[in-house]
Chain A
């Protein structure tokens, strides 16, 4: 049962910019940082963005994150074919005392 709401899908041609949104509530995004994960087909999710806008070592700078109030977004600029994947937002929820995830967004590179 996903607590965070994401746009189901997004697409673009190589080189374009794609933005994914994530909406939550005061107990999760409103109180804690947002993290983003990329899941390629058949593989485990990989951390893409942590603490709203921080990239782990090795993540290209064309991935960027932002947060405002109870919403967040992930932007992929200069879209590449290898970016075709499912993307999930996540945040700690103070009411659940657990991590809540978004519904997921499938990004297609046309």
Chain B
């Protein structure tokens, strides 16, 4: 059974860099069939796609975050990571890692439980 687990600091200071890792178990980030992605949800609000990565390192980023965003994959550790720089209060959200599957279009099929990241000085 595939499991995705987000990890990283729950508190980040404004202007610093938010870093999260998603550890994959019961599956492989090296699979040729899937992309791996990040989605976030500010408290009380809707879902926002952040970006996704293939095992080769090929990425798609949300244009609104692209200048601050880096998503990477480490096949040896079977995990992928998110780095978002110069964070502000608007980046406070629950961050979910997901596995994207393809059926008529890519979609998040499996989700991690999510991790809340709060911006606070």
Contact = CB atoms under 8 A, between A and B. Distances in A.
Interface of A: 1-2, 31-33, 35, 37, 43-47, 50-52, 54, 56, 88, 90-92, 96-104
A14 B96 CA distance: 32
A92 B108 CA distance: 10
Nearest to B50: A98
Contacts, number: 78
22 contacts: A1-B48, A2-B47, A2-B48, A35-B107, A37-B108, A44-B112, A44-B113, A46-B111, A47-B108, A47-B109, A47-B111, A50-B101, A52-B104, A56-B109, A92-B106, A92-B107, A98-B61, A99-B37, A101-B48, A101-B49, A102-B46, A104-B46
Interface in B29-75: 37, 39, 46-49, 51-52, 60-64
Contacts of B114: 44
A109 to B, nearest CB: 21
A33 B47 CA distance: 18
B26 interface: no
Nearest to B45: A104
Contacts of B96: 44-45
Nearest to B108: A99
A101 B109 contact: no
A9 to B, nearest CB: 14
Interface residues of B, number: 28
A32 B105 contact: yes
Contacts of B113: 43-44
B95 to A, nearest CB: 11
A51 B104 contact: yes
A90 B108 contact: yes
Contact of B107 (A46, A90, A97): A90
A35 B110 CA distance: 13
B121 interface: no
The 10 closest A-B pairs by CB, nearest first: A33-B104, A32-B105, A92-B105, A101-B47, A35-B107, A51-B103, A44-B111, A99-B49, A97-B60, A51-B104
Contact of B106 (A2, A88, A99, A104): A99
Nearest to B112: A44
